[in-house]
Structure 1
Amino acid sequence: MDTHNNMTLSYSAPKSVCYKGICQHVMRNDNEEACYGHQYCQCPHCSLWLCLEHLNQHQQEDIQNRFHAMNDRLNQIQQNIEILTIEPLRVKCYNILDKWKQKQIESINEFHRLKLNEFDMIYAQVASELQNMKEKRSDELKKYLPTLTTKQKSVHPHELELLDTKLNEIQQEIDTFSRETLIDILHDQIKSDDTIKITKEKTEFEKHHPLLFSVDYLNKMQLIRQIHLKKDARSIASSAEHILIRQSRPAKLVLYDREKLLKDFIIDITLDGAVEDLCWSSYLFAFLVLHSKALFSLSPETLKLIRIHEVKADEGHFWSLTTNDTDVFISTNRGFLIQRFSLPSWRLIKQWNREDILDPKDASVNCIRSNESSLIAAIISKDGTWHCDTFDFNMKQMRRGSALDEANATHDCNSELFSLSNNNQWLFLNRHKDSMWLITNDTDEKCDKEQCLAGCIMGDKYLVLSNHSPPRLEIFQL
Structure 2
Amino acid sequence: MDNQLSDMIQSLSLSSNECRIYARKQLDSWLDSSLTLLRNTYNEKLNEIDQLFHTLNEDLEIYKQRQLITITRQKNNLLNQEIKQLQEQLPILIQVKNTPGSIYDLEICRSTNIIDRPTICSILRHSLLQTEPVQSYRFSSTCRAMGCNSKRDEILLYEKDELILYNVNGTLGGSVSWSTMEDGFVSDITWCSILDCFLVLGRMILSLFDTHLYTCTNIQQVRGSQSHYLIALTYVEQDKSVFICSHHPIETIRQYGPLPEWNLKNTWSKDSLINQDDIGK
- TM-score bucket of the superposed structures, by smaller chain: 0.3 to 0.5
Q: TM-score, normalised by structure 1?
A: 0.30
Larger Rg: 1
Q: TM-score, normalised by structure 2?
A: 0.46
